[in-house]
Amino acid sequence: MSTTEILFWFLSALALVSATMVLISKNPVHSILWLIIVFFAISGHYVLLNAQFLAIVNLIVYAGAIMVLFLFVVMLMNLNSDSEPQKNSRFKVAGTIAGGCLMLIMIDVIRDAGEVQNAKALVKVGNIGLIKNLGMALFKDYVIPFEISSVLFLSAMVGAVVIGKKD
């Protein structure tokens, strides 16, 4: 087993375990912290895949900005484990089964897909994930969506103001 593989399995296990912990943590704050760990694990995967830019952005945007925002809101509301009454277990079981079925079905379907049977994701090589290449593409080929997403931000901003403003 190469280092890469070890890293892969480790990061995968970490991501899955942390993701599960997000679900089962009673305390919202803990959930958030576990989620941050998931993000770190995923960023690790990005690094492994030589997508360094995304790895950094993921950490900054998700783990850094978004999760802090979540944390902040949770703290603000002073939520803790007691404040969330549990759903009845029947509902939980149903939800788990439904999600599990979805997973099994999707994996089963994908397993038979021809073009991914023997395909490999390049690990550690390739430079498309470098910031230079991405930047070139982003501001040359992808300038239209890039500009248009500004509208998205505008509206999100307006929304945050409208909703968040105290009347």
Q: List the interface residues with another protein, window 90-119 (CB under 8 A).
A: 91-92, 94-96, 98-103, 105-107, 109-119
Q: How far is the CB of 98 from another protein (least distance, A)?
A: 5
Residues 36-55 that bind another protein (CB under 8 A): 38-39, 42, 45-46, 49-51, 53-54
Counting contacts by CB under 8 A, is residue 1 touching another protein?
A: no
| Cα distance from N-terminal residue to C-terminal residue, the chain | 61
Candidate residues 5, 6, 10, 75; the one interacting with another protein per rule CB under 8 A: 5
- Measure the CA–CA gap between 165 and 59, rounded to whole angstroms: 29
How many chain residues touch another protein (CB under 8 A)?
Answer: 101
- Measure the CA–CA gap between 71 and 132, rounded to whole angstroms: 33
Cβ-count burial 137-146 (b if 16+ within 10 Å, e if not): eeeeeeeeee
Question: Which two tokens mark 8?
Answer: 């892969």
- Measure the CA–CA gap between 18 and 39, rounded to whole angstroms: 9
- Measure the CA–CA gap between 134 and 130, rounded to whole angstroms: 6
Candidate residues 6, 10, 75, 121; the one interacting with another protein per rule CB under 8 A: 121
Residues 62-81 that bind another protein (CB under 8 A): 62, 65-66, 69-70, 73-74, 76-77, 79
Q: How far is the CB of 116 from another protein (least distance, A)?
A: 5
